[in-house]
Amino acid sequence: MDPWDRVFRKSGKVAWRMVDDDGVLLNLTTGYYYTLNEVGRFFWESLDGRKKLSEIHGDLLERYDVDGGEARRDLLELLEDLRKEGLVEPDA
């Protein structure tokens, strides 16, 4: 299935906090920390289990002055990184 048509949500195995303008994620299983910049944090906060990835992309383009193609590639890369680390999962 095309990831742009899928809905993703935060894993229940992660805690997160704001530190300055960054988001800090803690994988509760592994104990590893991950830091997200402002745009990464926006993506993280958008993972509500209701929005498709394509909708999050659209919201990001409305909020930030970024190239659509570049944002698309960056979102897919961030999504894949977060999925590999068990921090994000597809909504069933």
Task: Quick: pLDDT tens for 9-29.
Answer: 999 999 999 888 889 999 999
Q: What is the pTM of this model?
A: 0.90
Contact 14, 47 (CB under 8 A): no
Summarised one tens digit per residue, pLDDT across range 65-78 is 999 999 999 999 99
Segment 32-52 shows an average pLDDT of 94
Write down the pLDDT at residue 86: 93
**Which top CATH class is 3-85?**
mainly alpha
Q: Could you write out the three-class secondary structure of 14-83?
A: EEEEEECCEEEEEECCCCCEEEECHHHHHHHHHCEEEEEHHHHHHHHHHHCCCCHHHHHHHHHHHHHHHH
Summarised one tens digit per residue, pLDDT across range 77-88 is 999 999 999 999
Mean pLDDT score across all residues of the chain: 94
Give the whole-angstrom CA distance, residue 22 versus residue 41: 7
